[in-house]
Amino acid sequence: MVMGTAQYIAPEQALGHDATAASDVYSLGVVGYESVSGKRPFTGDGALTVAMKHIKETPPPLPADLPPNVRELIEITLAKNPGMRYRNGGAFADAVAAVRAGRRPPRPNQAPSIGRAAPAAVPSAAQVRAAADYGRPATAARRPVTTGHRAAPPPRRTFSTGQRALLWAAGVLGALAIIIAILMILSYQDRMDQQQLPPPTVTDTVTETTPFEPTAMERRADARSLALAERQLRVTPQRATGEHDHPDAATYPAAVSMSTAVGDGLRPLTPEQTTP
What is the per-residue pLDDT for 98?
A: 93
Residue 102's pLDDT is 93
Which of 272, 270, 234 has the alpha carbon at shortest distance from 253? 272
pLDDT given for residue 60 in this prediction: 93
Candidates 153, 43, 28, 131; CA nearest to 78 is 28
Residues of the chain with pLDDT under 50: 111-141, 144-145, 148, 235-246, 249-272, 274, 276
Partners of residue 260 on adjacent β-strands: 267
64-76 per-position pLDDT tens digit = 899 999 999 999 9
* Whole-angstrom distance, CA of residue 27 vs CA of residue 19: 11
- SS3 of the chain: the string is CCCCCHHHCCHHHHCCCCCCHHHHHHHHHHHHHHHHHCCCCCCCCCHHHHHHHHHHCCCCCCCCCCCHHHHHHHHHHCCCCHHHCCCCHHHHHHHHHHHHCCCCCCCCCCCCCCCCCCCCCCCCHHHHHHHHHCCCCCCCCCCCCCCCCCCCCCCCCCCCHHHHHHHHHHHHHHHHHHHHHHHHHHHHHHHHHHHHCCCCCCCCCCCCCCCCCCCHHHHHHHHHHHHHHHHHCCCCCCCCCCCCCCCCCCCCCCCCCCCEEECCEEECCCCCCCCC
pLDDT at 132: 40
pLDDT of residue 56: 92
Domains of the chain with CATH codes:
6-100 (1.10.510.10)
**What pLDDT score was predicted for residue 216?**
72
pLDDT at 198: 66
For helices 21-37 and 89-100, the axis angle rounded to 10 degrees is 30
- Per-residue model confidence (pLDDT) at position 38: 92
